[in-house]
Amino acid sequence: MHRMIGRRKLLEAAGLALAFSPSRRALADELLRQGRDPQNLATPTALFDRLITPTPSFFVRSHFGPPALDRERPLRVDGLVATALTLDAAELERSFPPVTVTAVLQCAGNGRAFHEPRVPGLQWTHGAMGQATFTGVRLRDLLRRAGVAAENLAHTHVHVLGADGPPKPSTPAFLRSIPIERALDPTTLVAYKMNGEALTLAHGAPLRLVVPGWAGDHWVKWLTKLSVQKAEATGFYMATAYRMPTEKVTPGAAVPPEKMRPATTFPVKSIIGSPADGGRAPAGPQRVAGVAFSGDAPIAKVEVSIDDGKTWRAAKLEGEPGAGRWVVFEHRFDRTEPGRVRALARATDRKGNTQPERAAWNPSGYHWNAWHAVSWEVA
Ligand SMILES: Nc1nc2c(c(=O)[nH]1)N[C@H]1C(S)=C(S)[C@@H](COP(=O)(O)O)O[C@H]1N2
Ligand SMILES: [Mo]
């Protein structure tokens, strides 16, 4: 047991060391602007070959831009609780046991650009995701301290609000809610640290929600209020946005609202980070590396094909498997003949979910997870 933990620590440390090594510094500080607004930034695909995404190049998604930085901003816990609480990040850190999780944070719209027919919204390719360690307190511990009566421990909802006000009164606020069952999950955190450092403003300082396995829209930043309520939150960001069809739909078809539900668990997926698509490599040993994850279950295997899907070989996996957490995969082979090589990757989780050749189209283009293909020239 001890040896396993030692090995895991070592692997994570190696991932971090690699991420911050001087030769990688330029890439690790890079973010790619996504769309017109400066607050939406994508992680370069080349960084998807390691366990931890360095914070300076961790994607950023924000609807209205960040509020002013206030490390003492109070967080209120109220609603159906015995005692309402008001605490800031320092008090939270002092009064509850710290918990650290390693988890994938991925926007529901990641990969939207690949859906056909095209869907409106930010045209993310692969860069609206990353993996980091998040440290904070269990939402469960916070709710316990406030006191939730037994009859409210099921079928209620925790409404979650951040300090980023909408730009105009006519614009709806980014109000979200999660079911109490998910709020009580031991991995759901109110986090104050990311990758071992205090949260940066872009990523939600001083406090943000962490909901491993669920899409990024649940991970509310700049927290001001958590409120236990009987009903799910309403408003644009719950009732209209971030919803998926309950059944398979014909690409391009309209879906009636009653056949939509909130987008929660992200599906099994793998992305090749190296080599870069369209690049070159000398003849000889070739290496395909990437990341694989599923919101639902730990990754069981990743297969790579270099013959357009006719045959598949199991890739070597690195990192601790877990639901909502990525592992790094690697496949090596030799290519002595010059010419074009095309590699495909396909992940399967322990519940038997396998990455599909084509992603399920849906009106908002969420949860794209088709096989990733990368081509390069061997010279
Ligand atoms: N308060 C607030 N929280 C928010 C958002 C927002 O606009 N406002 N955007 C959400 C969305 S859609 C995503 S994908 C994640 C992105 O987190 P990151 O910017 O730390 O990568 O934050 C979520 N939390
Ligand atoms: Mo998102």
* 1 confidence band (pLDDT: 50, 70, 90): very low
Q: What is the DSSP letter of 69?
A: -
**Of 222, 241, 260, the domain-final residue:** 241
Mean pLDDT of 126-151: 98
Q: Do 320 and 187 share a structural domain?
A: no
Q: Do 356 and 237 share a structural domain?
A: no
- With a 6 Å cutoff on the Cβ, whether 107 touches ligand 1 is yes
- With a 6 Å cutoff on the Cβ, whether 124 touches ligand 1 is no
Q: Does a structural domain hold residue 349?
A: yes
* Probe target for ligand 1 pocket from 221, 237, 243, with the most ligand atoms within 8 Å of CB: 221
Contact 73, 163 (CB under 8 A): yes
Residue 37 pLDDT exceeds 90: no
Per-residue pLDDT of 210-257, as tens digits, reads 999 999 999 999 999 999 999 999 999 999 999 999 999 999 999 999
- With a 6 Å cutoff on the Cβ, whether 207 touches ligand 1 is no
Q: Which residue has the higher pLDDT, 11 or 348?
A: 348
Per-residue pLDDT of 172-216, as tens digits, reads 989 999 999 999 999 999 999 999 999 999 999 999 999 999 999
CATH assignment at residue 126: 3.90.420.10
Please count the other Cβ atoms lying within 10 Å of the Cβ belonging to residue 95: 13
Mean pLDDT of 69-84: 98
Closest CA to 306 of 282, 328, 331: 331
Q: Does a structural domain hold residue 318?
A: yes
Mean model confidence pLDDT for the chain: 93
- With a 6 Å cutoff on the Cβ, whether 346 touches ligand 1 is no
Query: What residues does 103 pair with on adjacent strands?
Result: 132
Q: Does a structural domain hold residue 57?
A: no
Q: Do 236 and 318 share a structural domain?
A: no
- Which tokens sit at 112? 């939207």
Per-residue pLDDT of 286-344, as tens digits, reads 999 999 999 999 999 999 999 999 999 999 999 999 999 999 999 999 999 999 999 99
Q: Do 279 and 229 share a structural domain?
A: no
Q: What is the pLDDT of residue 96?
A: 98
Share of residues in the chain with pLDDT > 90 (%): 88
Contact 110, 331 (CB under 8 A): no
Per-residue pLDDT of 143-159, as tens digits, reads 999 999 999 999 999 99
Torsion of Cα atoms, 234 then 240 then 245 then 251, to 10°: 180
Q: Do 188 and 225 share a structural domain?
A: yes
Q: What is the pLDDT of residue 28?
A: 57
Q: Which residue has the higher pLDDT, 273 or 12?
A: 273
Contact 164, 222 (CB under 8 A): yes
Q: What is the pLDDT of residue 219?
A: 98
Contact 316, 331 (CB under 8 A): yes
Q: Does a structural domain hold residue 248?
A: no
Residue 17 pLDDT exceeds 50: no
Q: Do 274 and 236 share a structural domain?
A: no
CATH assignment at residue 276: 2.60.40.650
Q: Does a structural domain hold residue 291?
A: yes
Q: Does a structural domain hold residue 315?
A: yes
> Domain count of the chain?
2
Q: Does a structural domain hold residue 27?
A: no
* 27 confidence band (pLDDT: 50, 70, 90): low
- With a 6 Å cutoff on the Cβ, whether 222 touches ligand 1 is yes
Domain range for 215 is 75-241
* Probe target for ligand 1 pocket from 57, 62, 201, 218, with the most ligand atoms within 8 Å of CB: 62
Q: Do 234 and 130 share a structural domain?
A: yes
Residue 348 pLDDT exceeds 60: yes
Q: What is the pLDDT of residue 325?
A: 98
Q: Do 190 and 138 share a structural domain?
A: yes
**Of 241, 256, 278, the domain-final residue:** 241
Q: Do 282 and 201 share a structural domain?
A: no
Q: Do 182 and 273 share a structural domain?
A: no
Q: Which atom of ligand 1 is nearest to the CA of 162?
A: 1
